[in-house]
């Protein structure tokens, strides 16, 4: 692709908090993918695909908020704010032996049907912009 076209793409501003949230979720996905074969027979092994998909869905929601801030906020959807209340653990700060457990607990908390972030991600699907991007229009 020609550089001039890439330079024309709008890049939203990201504050330090938002950058940390996205970086934490990306680190979760990378860790699970890298350790997929060595993850034990605990619950997390059976939920690996579900966990990866959900963390990706959260990242997508955050990116939607960055690019379509006004539209999401008009619909009263603020994934970044809802994620802020969670205080995502930083994997690099956890002992290697505790990372699998920390990820499992974080996933279980965020995936709970009563968690406001899960409801927010569901409601994103009602926005025309999101439906078009995801090919559901």
- 107, two tokens: 């996933």
Residue 95 neighbours by CB under 8 Å, 6+ apart? none
What are the domain boundaries of the chain?
Answer: 14-133
Lookup: tokens for 85: 């209340």
Structure confidence at residue 49 (pLDDT): 83
Cβ(55)–Cβ(48) below 8 Å: no
Tens of pLDDT along the chain (137 residues) come to 567 777 777 888 899 999 999 999 999 999 888 887 666 555 455 578 888 999 999 999 999 999 999 999 999 999 999 998 888 988 888 888 888 888 889 999 999 999 999 999 999 999 999 999 998 86
Residue 120: predicted pLDDT: 97
| Tokens, residue 130 | 């999101």
Q: Which two tokens stand for residue 38?
A: 């060595």
For the entire predicted model, the pTM comes to 0.86
pLDDT of residue 40: 58
Say if CB 99 and CB 31 are below 8 A apart: yes
Tell me how crowded residue 81 is: count the other CB atoms within 10 A of its CB: 14
């Amino acid at each position: 692709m020609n550089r001039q076209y890439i330079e024309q793409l709008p890049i939203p501003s990201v504050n330090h908090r938002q950058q940390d949230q996205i970086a934490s979720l990306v680190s979760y996905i990378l860790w699970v993918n890298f350790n997929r074969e060595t993850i034990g027979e605990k619950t997390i092994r059976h939920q690996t695909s579900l966990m990866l998909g959900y963390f990706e869905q959260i990242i997508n929601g955050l990116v939607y908020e960055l690019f379509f801030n006004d539209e999401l906020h008009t619909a009263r959807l603020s994934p970044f704010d809802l994620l802020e209340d969670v205080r995502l653990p930083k994997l690099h700060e956890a002992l290697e032996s505790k990372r699998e457990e920390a990820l499992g607990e974080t996933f279980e908390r965020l995936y709970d049907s009563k968690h406001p972030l899960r409801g927010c991600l569901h409601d994103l699907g009602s926005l025309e912009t999101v439906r078009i991007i995801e090919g559901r229009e």
